[in-house]
C-alpha cells in the first residue's frame, strides 16, 4: 500500500472499531511501527484522528470540565456496577476517604456500613448521601466550593488532611492514561486529591470505560501510586499493564 491507501485503511478501521493500535496496524499492513506512527501523526495533524498511548481513536482524548448534573447521566449503569463492587471493599469499623465526582456519589449510595464507619470527604453530594446512616461519622472538609463538582477544594481542605490517615481512598477520575497517570479537569482539585492519596494506606480508583486513554488538565498522580482500579470494562492493553505494575483490577 502507498501512503494514501494506508491512511484510508486506518481511518476505516477506526470508524469500524473506534480505536486502533500501532501493533495491530503493523501486523495488518506489514510495515514498521515508525511508518504507522508517522501515518497517525499525519492523520492527527489533519484533524481526522486523535493519537493515544499505543494507537489512535476518533474520540477526543481530552476530557473537558462538565457540570456534576451533566456527568451524573453519563454511563450511569456502568457507574452503578462500579459502585456496587467498590462498596464490597468497605470493612467493619473502617475509616475511608471519598473524593469528589459522580462515580463516588454512586459509591456513597451503595455503602451499607458494617458496625461503624468514618468517612472523610470533600464532596458535598457524598455527604448528603451518607447522612441517612446513623452509624457513619462524616468529616466534611472545609473551604471554597467548586460548584461544577459540588465539592470543596483549596489549601484549608489540604491542611486538614495533614493530621488524618485512613485505610482507603476511593477516588474518581476524568482521565486515565498509561504514560500520564490519573487526572481530573481542575488543577486545584488534583492537588487536593494528591493530598488525599498521602492520607490513605490504599488508593482505589473508580473509572468507567470512557476514562481510559483520556487526558485532563490536572494530573493527580502516576499509575504507580494506584493500588486498585475498579471498572466496568478495561482495555486489554491496560489489563496487561496493570498486571505488570502489580495493580489489582476488578471488572464488574
The 10s digit of each residue's pLDDT in 182-215 is 999 888 999 999 999 999 999 999 999 989 988 8
pLDDT of residue 127: 97
| Domain annotation for the chain: domains and CATH numbers | 3-57 (1.10.10.10), 68-251 (3.40.50.1360)
pLDDT for the residue 47:
83
Identify the pLDDT of residue 56. 87
* pLDDT greater than 80 at residue 124: yes
If pLDDT is split at 50, 70 and 90, which confidence band does 72 have? low
In this prediction, what percent of the chain has a pLDDT beyond 70?
94
pLDDT band at 79 (very low <50, low <70, confident <90, very high): very high
CA distance 111 to 106: 9
In the predicted model, is pLDDT for residue 62 greater than 80?
Answer: no
pLDDT at 134 over 80: yes
Please say whether the beta carbons of 202 and 248 come within 8 A.
no
The grid coordinates of residue 67 equal 457540570
pLDDT at 70 over 70: no
Whole-prediction pTM value?
Answer: 0.76
Sign of the alpha-carbon torsion through 149, 150, 154, 160: negative
* pLDDT value, residue 22: 93
What single string gives the DSSP state of each residue in the chain? --HHHHHHHHHHHHHHHSEEEHHHHHHHHT--HHHHHHHHHHHHHTTS-EEETTEEESS--BPPP--HHHHHTTTHHHHHHHHHHHHTTPPTTEEEEE-SSHHHHHHHHH---SS-EEEEESBHHHHHHHTT-TTEEEEE--S-EETTTTEE-SHHHHHHHTT--EEEEEEE-SEEETTTEEEES-HHHHHHHHHHHHTEEEEEEE--GGGBT-B-SEEEE-GGG-SEEEES---HHHHHHHHHHT-EEEE-
Rounded-to-integer distance, Cα 238 and Cα 28, Å: 22
For the segment 3-25, the average pLDDT, to the nearest whole number, is: 89
Higher pLDDT: 179 or 97? It is: 97
Return the pLDDT at 204.
98
Residue 220 is predicted with a pLDDT of 96
**Pairwise CA distance, residues 74 & 66, whole Å:** 11
Backbone CA torsion sign across 244, 83, 70, 124 = negative
Instruction: Give 249's pLDDT tier (boundaries 50, 70, 90).
Output: very high
For 82-89, what is the mean pLDDT?
Answer: 97
Cα–Cα distance for residue pair 126/141, rounded to 1 Å: 12
Of the candidates 206, 210, 214, the residue with the CA atom closest to the CA atom of residue 172: 206
Check whether 75 has a pLDDT greater than 90. Answer: no
Which range has the top average pLDDT, 63-72, 124-133, 206-215?
A: 124-133
Which of 85, 127, 87 is CA-nearest to residue 249?
85
Amino acid at each position: 500500500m502507498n501512503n494514501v491507501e494506508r491512511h484510508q485503511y486506518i481511518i476505516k478501521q477506526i470508524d469500524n472499531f473506534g480505536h486502533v493500535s500501532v501493533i495491530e496496524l503493523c501486523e495488518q499492513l506489514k510495515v514498521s511501527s515508525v511508518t504507522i506512527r508517522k501515518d497517525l501523526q499525519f492523520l492527527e495533524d489533519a484533524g481526522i484522528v486523535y493519537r493515544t498511548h499505543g494507537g489512535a481513536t476518533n474520540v477526543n482524548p481530552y476530557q473537558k470540565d462538565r457540570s456534576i448534573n451533566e456527568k451524573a447521566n453519563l454511563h450511569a449503569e456502568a457507574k452503578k456496577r462500579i459502585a456496587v463492587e467498590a462498596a464490597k471493599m468497605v470493612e467493619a469499623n473502617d475509616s475511608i476517604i471519598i473524593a469528589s465526582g459522580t462515580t463516588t456519589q454512586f459509591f456513597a449510595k451503595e455503602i451499607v456500613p458494617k458496625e461503624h464507619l468514618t468517612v472523610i470527604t470533600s464532596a458535598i453530594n457524598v455527604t448528603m448521601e451518607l447522612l441517612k446512616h446513623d452509624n457513619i461519622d462524616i468529616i466534611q472538609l472545609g473551604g471554597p466550593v467548586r460548584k461544577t463538582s459540588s465539592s470543596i477544594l483549596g489549601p484549608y481542605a489540604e491542611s486538614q488532611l495533614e493530621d488524618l490517615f485512613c485505610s482507603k481512598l476511593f477516588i474518581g477520575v476524568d482521565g486515565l492514561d498509561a504514560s500520564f497517570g490519573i487526572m481530573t479537569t481542575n488543577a486545584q482539585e488534583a492537588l487536593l486529591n494528591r493530598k488525599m492519596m498521602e492520607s490513605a494506606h490504599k488508593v482505589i480508583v473508580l473509572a468507567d470505560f470512557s476514562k481510559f486513554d483520556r487526558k485532563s488538565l490536572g494530573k493527580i498522580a502516576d499509575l504507580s501510586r494506584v493500588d486498585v482500579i475498579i471498572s466496568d470494562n478495561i482495555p486489554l492493553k491496560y489489563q496487561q499493564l496493570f498486571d505488570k505494575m502489580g495493580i489489582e483490577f476488578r471488572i464488574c
